[in-house]
Amino acid sequence: MLAGKGIRAVAVMWAMTFISFILVPLRLYTRVYIIEALGVDDHVFNLAWVFLLLYTIFITIAGVHGFGQPISTLPIDSAVQAVYNEMIGQTFAVIGMAIAKLSLGLFLLRIVVKQWHRLSIWVSMVSLSIVSVMTAIIFWTQRVPSKSIYDPRVPGRSIINVTPFSILLGSWCAAVDFYFALLPWIFIWNLNMKFKEKMSIAISLSLGFIACVCGIIRTIDLGGLSSTNYTEDTVDLVIWSGVEMAVTLICVGIPTVRPLYRVIVHGSSVKSSDSRYIKQDDSSHSSRFRMQNPTKRSTMFSVAQESITEAYIARNNQSDEEILMGQYGNNIGGIRVREEG
């Protein structure tokens, strides 16, 4: 049964899972009924939450068998089950954290325009995915046979140390969080919008700084992976991994439910008046783009760049937040982007 530090760990895990779940239906409702632009990033977001739920479930099972207690005080069978289920949970955490970052990256792809922004986001997502999958594989193959990792009664030999790869993953997650939180300030600051709106949108898209801090703390606690008292010394690592996943989901979810907040609190409509703003660019070439949603009548979003000016025009009252949140993102949610000659 649950005892020792396991009670705190399981309580925190379920609290984080529940809090982050609140944004799942709110986000779906906003995407489907408010802005009518359900995209791939929404499905990835939901998948990331499922991985957090599975992580929490297996940590709870591990807690029942003795996770959070000194391993020397546990019967051998309980200790084996505790470590085994904790390892399964940590595998979901390793992959789930990458999926959560993918959701944020796909979300940012909806709203960025410049090619180097898009390329840097893809590089971040692909590299993080590779490191996550590689770490998960090494986690289960660090010893041969794999059962000897969690069962001391099974003879085996070590072939690779997983700790450096775990540190690499933790550091890379923190770096990606930092970059994804910094990027909105780069492209939003050039928009000709009210300062208050710039700050509001940029801050809402930059909550990933909090996830970055959680990732750094989690990386510091990775030493518990090589401890002989595995069931107790990995408690902080498990907690901060769950907190990082939940905070990432919360940081991704908050900007996407802003239109719902505006409708409920301010009574605003997503279909009323026109809006227009100009984005300044230091490029000198001239190009014109048109983004059109074929599923919604008379909805058009045009981007025109003449010399150093890009004009964003949205009909049917797309607010600053809604446009930046990618209702008319590039090739997402049925939106087509084509360049006019």
Nearest residue to 153 (alpha-carbon basis) of 88, 80, 67: 80
* Paired residues of 278 in beta bridges: 192, 311
Q: Where are the domains of the chain?
A: 5-263, 270-340
> What is the CB-side half-sphere exposure of residue 336 using CA atoms within 13 A?
8
- Non-local (6+) Cβ contacts of 312 within 8 A are 191, 276, 277, 278, 279, 301, 302, 303, 323
pLDDT the model gives residue 285: 37
Cβ count within 10 A of residue 123:
13
> Peptide bond preceding 155: is omega within 30 degrees of 0, i.e. cis?
no
Cα(117)–Cα(184) distance, rounded to whole angstroms? 10
Q: Is the pLDDT of residue 317 over 50?
A: no
Nearest residue to 26 (alpha-carbon basis) of 10, 3, 49, 7: 49
205-214, 237-246, 288-297, 305-314: least confidently modelled range: 305-314
DSSP code for 293: -
Cα(217)–Cα(219) distance, rounded to whole angstroms? 5
Say if CB 256 and CB 296 are below 8 A apart.
no
Cα(115)–Cα(159) distance, rounded to whole angstroms? 42
- As to burial, measured by CB atoms within 10 angstroms (0-12 exposed, 13-18 middle, 19+ buried), residue 307 is exposed
Cα(316)–Cα(337) distance, rounded to whole angstroms? 19
pTM equals: 0.75
Residues 209-261: tens digit of each pLDDT:
888 888 888 777 676 566 778 888 888 888 888 998 898 898 888 888 888 87
CA distances, 252 to each of 39, 99, 131, 208 (Å):
14, 12, 21, 8
pLDDT the model gives residue 92: 95
Residues 12-50: tens digit of each pLDDT:
999 999 999 999 999 999 888 888 878 888 899 999 999
Cα(289)–Cα(304) distance, rounded to whole angstroms? 6
Say if CB 330 and CB 115 are below 8 A apart.
no
Cα(325)–Cα(184) distance, rounded to whole angstroms? 11
Cα(46)–Cα(28) distance, rounded to whole angstroms? 9
Residue position matching structure tokens 């590689």: 134
* Paired residues of 276 in beta bridges: 313
Nearest residue to 240 (alpha-carbon basis) of 2, 1, 16: 16
Q: Is the pLDDT of residue 183 over 60?
A: yes
111-115, 119-123, 130-134, 191-195: least confidently modelled range: 191-195
User: Which architecture does CATH list for 5-263?
Assistant: Up-down Bundle (1.20)
Question: Residue 276, SS3?
Answer: strand
DSSP code for 315: S
- Non-local (6+) Cβ contacts of 92 within 8 A are 51, 52, 54, 55, 58
Single-letter amino acid code for the residue at 239: I
Round the average pLDDT of the chain to a whole number and report it.
Answer: 76
- As to burial, measured by CB atoms within 10 angstroms (0-12 exposed, 13-18 middle, 19+ buried), residue 282 is exposed
* Paired residues of 223 in beta bridges: none
Average pLDDT score over residue span 280-300: 36
18-32, 142-156, 303-317: least confidently modelled range: 303-317
Torsions phi, psi of 9, nearest 5?
-60, -50
Q: Is the pLDDT of residue 307 over 70?
A: no
- What distance lies between CA 145 and its chain's CA centroid? 34
